[in-house]
Chain A
Amino acid sequence: MIRWLVWFLASSGAAIACEATGQRMSTETQNAPAVHVAVDEIPLAQPFSILLTVCGETAVSEMRVDAVMPAHQHGMNYLPVVTAIGDDVFRIDDMLFHMPGKWELQVDVEYNGQTVSYTYDLALK
C-alpha cells in the first residue's frame, strides 16, 4: 500500500538514552535505536493517540507512522499527526482503527538519512 508521510523537523540535538514508557517495537535492523510505544485502551472506530519514545544517540530527522490490518489488506482511513513533544518523545494523534481485530503499527524513523522500520502488533476487541 502507499504509505503516507508525516514530516517533521527535529528541533533538538541527538536523542539520547532515555526512560522509555510502553512496549518496545520490533525491528529487523541490527543495533537500531529502540523505539517504545505507549498506548492506553483503544476505542473502536474513534480517534486515539499514542506516544512513541526513541532511545538512541542519533537525532531523528523524520518519522512516518501508519497502521494496517494484515488480515483485511487495508490500513487506516486517516493520516495520523506526528508532534515532537520532547527530545525523544513524539505524540501521534488522530489514529483511528475502524474495525476490531489485529492491527500492525508501522513506524519508519529516519536517522542521518537512514530509515529504520519498526512494527508492533495491537489487538482491538
Chain B
Amino acid sequence: MKLWVSVAFVALTSVVRAEVLLSEDEIQQTLSFGPWPPPIQPDPSNRGSNDPRAIALGAALFDDPVLSIDGALACASCHNPEQAFTTLDPRAFGRVLLDRNTPSLRNLAGLRWYGWGGKSDNLWAASLHPIVEEQEMAHSEESLKRAISESPYVSDFEDIFGDIESQNPELVLVKIAKALSAYLETLVTERTQFDDFRDALERSDLAEAANYPEAAQRGLQLFLGRGNCAFCHNGPRFSNNEFHDAGVPYFLSETEVDEGRFGGLNFLLSSPYTLDGDWNDDPDKQGAWAVRNVRRSHSDFGNFRTPSLRGVAETDPYMHDGSLNDLDAVVRHYSEIDTERLHTNGDAVLSELKLTEQEIADLVAFLETLSSATRP
C-alpha cells in the first residue's frame, strides 16, 4: 500500500512538473522579472514626490486644459486614462501631427531616462517639456503663471508651493511640472497572470505555476532564448531603459529623419532641467551621474528607448512611430527583420528569427500575460 502511494505521488509530481516547461536556468531568469509591483521610493529631486497634496493637484491638472495656452489640450487628450494613458493613434496629434507614438505613462517612477529619445533624466522635466513645446501645449512661462493664477487651482498651488505672485514664472513652471510628476509616479500597472506564475516559481509551488498557459510558457522560453528579447527587455519593467536600433525606419520624409537618442542627448545636454541642474531639490543630486557621464555616439542616431512591456497588450499601436498595429505585427517584425536597416556600428543583437506560426502565436500569448487587461 505504502509503495503504491509513493508511486502515485512520484507520478503525480512528474505530471505537475511536466506542465512547467521551463528549465532551472529559465526559471532563474524568469525570477528577475519581478517582484511586482516594485517598492515605492519617493523621488528626492522633487519635493512634491509622495506628497498627497501635490499628487492631487497633479491629477487635477493632468485632466485640465488649463495647461495649454488656448485651453485646447489637456495632458489627458493624448495620454487618455481610459486608454492606458495613450491613444490608438499611431502618432500623437498635439497642435500638429507629431513624429512619434504617444507612450503610456504607467510605471515611470525612478527611471533613468524618459521619452523615446531620452531627452529627460527625471520625470518632472519630462512633464515640463510638453507644457512649453510649441507643437504641444505651447504655454510660455508667463502665460502658464497667469493661467494658474486665474484658475481654481491657485489656492492648492499656494498651499503646497507658497504665494504664486512672488515667484518668477520659470519657478511656477517647474513646480507645476513637479506636481504632475508626483501624480504620474502613482500610475502603476496591476499585477498580471505572469506575476502569479513568477511568484509561484519563486515559492517553488510548481502546482500553482502550472496554471500558467503552456503557450505563454513556450513564448517565454523564446523570449529568454532564441528570440533574444531579454537582452533589452529585462528586469521587473521588462526594459533596460537604454537605447537601441530595432530596425524600424526613422525617416520622417524624404528629407527628414527622427534622430532618436542622438537628438535626445542634444536636448538633454543643453537643458537646465536635469538632475545635475539647479532645479533638482536633492542636495546630493542622486542620479545625476547618468547625465554627467553619458556617452555620445554616432550610433545613437535612430536609436530609441526600450519600452516597458508591462501592460503592453493595452498600448497598441507599437514602436516609436506607431507603425505596427498589434503584437502579432511586432513579433513578425522581429521574425522577418531586415538587418540591412540596422546600424553597421550598432548592436549586433538582432537577426532574422524565422519563427513558425506556432512560435509567433506563443510569443504573443506570453506578451498578453504581461497585461491585466486588453485594449478597452
A→B interface (CB under 8 Å): 4, 44-45, 47, 71-81, 93-94, 98-101, 125
Q: What 1/0 flags go to B40-59 for Cβ under 8 Å of A?
A: 00000000000000000000
Residues in A whose Cβ lies below 8 Å from that of B28: 125
Residues in A whose Cβ lies below 8 Å from that of B295: 4, 75-79
Contact B294 A77 (CB under 8 A): yes
Separation of A74 and B230 alpha carbons in the complex (Å): 17
Interface residues of B in 105-153 (CB under 8 A from A): none
Known: A44-B234, A72-B349. 10 other contacts (CB 8 A): A45-B241, A47-B289, A72-B348, A73-B346, A73-B348, A78-B295, A79-B293, A79-B294, A93-B289, A99-B240
B345 part of interface (Cβ distance < 8 Å): yes
Residues in B whose Cβ lies below 8 Å from that of A71: 348
B235 part of interface (Cβ distance < 8 Å): yes
Q: What 1/0 flags go to B343-368 for Cβ under 8 Å of A?
A: 00111110000000000000000000
B268 part of interface (Cβ distance < 8 Å): no
A43 closest partner in B (C-beta): B235
Residue among A72, A75, A94, A101 making CB contact with B293, cutoff 8 Å: A94
Closest 5 CB pairs of A and B: A45-B240, A98-B242, A78-B293, A79-B293, A73-B348
B234 closest partner in A (C-beta): A44
B290 part of interface (Cβ distance < 8 Å): yes
Q: Is the interface of B mostly helix, strand, loop or mixed?
A: loop
Contact A77 B242 (CB under 8 A): yes
Q: What are 7 A-to-B residue pairs whose CB atoms are below 8 Å?
A: A44-B235, A44-B240, A47-B289, A72-B348, A77-B243, A79-B295, A125-B29
Residue among A72, A78, A125 making CB contact with B294, cutoff 8 Å: A78
Min CB distance B237 to A, Å, is 10
Separation of A71 and B347 alpha carbons in the complex (Å): 9
B188 part of interface (Cβ distance < 8 Å): no
Say yes or no: A81-B293 contact (C-beta < 8 A), given A101-B231, A125-B29. yes
B→A interface (CB under 8 Å): 28-29, 32, 230-232, 234-235, 240-243, 289-290, 293-295, 299, 345-349
Contact B348 A45 (CB under 8 A): no
B345 closest partner in A (C-beta): A73
Q: Could you say which of B293, B294, B348 has the most chain A C-beta atoms within 10 Å of its C-beta? A: B293
Contact B348 A99 (CB under 8 A): no
Residue among B29, B234, B243, B346 making CB contact with A45, cutoff 8 Å: B234
Min CB distance A54 to B, Å, is 23
Residues in B whose Cβ lies below 8 Å from that of A44: 32, 234-235, 240
Min CB distance B343 to A, Å, is 10
Residues in B whose Cβ lies below 8 Å from that of A72: 231, 347-349
Say yes or no: A100-B348 contact (C-beta < 8 A), given A77-B242, A125-B28. no
Residues in B whose Cβ lies below 8 Å from that of A79: 293-295
Say yes or no: A73-B347 contact (C-beta < 8 A), given A45-B235, A99-B240, A100-B231. yes
A97 closest partner in B (C-beta): B240
Separation of A98 and B29 alpha carbons in the complex (Å): 15
Q: Could you say which of A71, A77, A79 has the most chain B C-beta atoms within 10 Å of its C-beta? A: A77
Separation of A77 and B305 alpha carbons in the complex (Å): 13
Contact A74 B293 (CB under 8 A): no
Contact B234 A100 (CB under 8 A): yes
Min CB distance A70 to B, Å, is 10
Contact B348 A80 (CB under 8 A): no
Separation of A74 and B345 alpha carbons in the complex (Å): 8
Separation of A94 and B291 alpha carbons in the complex (Å): 11
Contact B347 A45 (CB under 8 A): no
Contact A80 B293 (CB under 8 A): yes
Residues in B whose Cβ lies below 8 Å from that of A98: 240, 242
Min CB distance A17 to B, Å, is 33
A78 closest partner in B (C-beta): B293
Separation of A63 and B241 alpha carbons in the complex (Å): 29
Residues in A whose Cβ lies below 8 Å from that of B29: 125
